[in-house]
Structure 1
């Protein structure tokens, strides 16, 4: 059994004139990161491995959330391929995970996240919002074999404010 916890980065700021990859979180994105991180701690979420997109807003979200779930930042891995907006590319990245990891958490981007969870989970979402988290479970022991799984839970900031 493989568990995937997939998180969309927090709300980003458009105030600075920077390239997309370098956009940081705005105050709401920071606040929602803390809110969701606290909620995941209460749920006793313990990923074996966390990967983050190299985009500033995704890494910043991952950094905030890891504070709450007692995951060492030294173990957090950046994955440039998670800076994608495609569910097919997202699947390829996830399938590259080593099989000794049972629970993988990733921080990435939309529309890839919404498309992925709708395609591989059993609950449909119009949109996974910023700082939204969805956990999928796959009935396999190999990441390379993931097909349609089931949606175990989802946490959206507006539901826990």
Structure 2
């Protein structure tokens, strides 16, 4: 069994004159990411392996989750292919994960994450909102064979406010 946790980065700010990769989180984004991370921790254990897009907003969201976990053994990697908006690179990345990893969490972007949730999960999601989290289980022992999985958990920040 393989388990994938998809987390869309928290709400980012457009106020600063910076490039897309450098946009920081808004105050609402910080609050929403904390809400979702805390709710996640009530139900689940963090996977030891975590991957994030190199975008500042994704890294900051990832750091919130890691800090809330209070675990010292989490392994976080920044992956350029996760800075993807249509999902092609993210899917290739997932299909090339090491078989020894049973559970991973990735932080990234829309429309990629909404598409991936709908391609692989069994519950339709119209739009994965910022700070939204989806857990999908796959009945396989090899990431290269992931196809249709079971959507086990969906957490949206609006449901926690």
CA distance in 1, matches of 2:21, 2:43: 31
Distance verdict in 2 for CA 1:27–1:73, change over 3 Å: farther
The alignment's C-alpha RMSD in Å is 1.2
Which consecutive residues of structure 1, in runs of 5 or more, have no partner in the other structure? Answer: none
Is the 1:5–1:104 contact (alpha carbons within 8 Å) kept by the matching residues of 2?
Answer: yes
CA distance in 1, matches of 2:29, 2:141: 34
CA drift of 1:71 comes to: 3.9
Residue equivalent to 1:153: 153
1:19-46 residue CA offsets vs partner (Å, 9 max, x unmatched) = 1011010000111111111111111322
Q: TM-score, normalised by structure 1?
A: 0.96
CA drift of 1:160 comes to: 1.3
Paired residues for 1:99-110 under 5 Å: 99-110=99-110
Deviation >3 Å, runs of 4+: 70-74
Residue equivalent to 2:90: 90
Is the 1:37–1:65 contact (alpha carbons within 8 Å) kept by the matching residues of 2?
Answer: yes
CA distance in 1, matches of 2:131, 2:71: 18
